[in-house]
């Protein structure tokens, strides 16, 4: 995923987590608001830490170009 898209997605996740944090506070859910903040930070951190999976097209470990009969 390009860095620009990751950055915009990170901003959106942080904004949604901040709004959810505020809403949980307004409802009086003290513990859940911190869980929401933690999960929002964890999602952004994981998106930047773990690389995107890139797979080659295979069928049972055999490349499609190498299949007999085609």
Q: What does the DSSP assignment read for 17-38?
A: HHHHHHHHHHHT-HHHHHHHHH
Give the tens place of pLDDT for each residue, 11-29: 999 999 999 999 999 999 8
How much is the pTM?
A: 0.69
How far is residue 65's CA from residue 2's CA, in Å, rounded to a whole number?
30
- How confident is the model at residue 2, as a pLDDT? 84
**Cβ-based neighbour number of residue 36 at 10 Å:** 21
In whole angstroms, give the CA distance from residue 7 to residue 29: 30
pLDDT digit string, tens, across residues 5-14: 999 999 999 9
The CA-based angle 54-55-59, given to 5 degrees, is: 170
């Amino acid at each position: 995923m390009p860095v620009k898209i990751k950055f915009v997605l990170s901003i959106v996740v942080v904004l949604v987590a901040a709004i959810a944090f505020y809403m949980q506070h307004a409802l009086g859910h003290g513990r859940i608001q911190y869980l929401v903040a933690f999960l929002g930070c964890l999602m952004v951190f994981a998106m930047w830490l773990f690389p995107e999976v890139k797979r080659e097209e295979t069928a049972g470990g055999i490349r499609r170009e190498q299949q007999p009969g085609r």
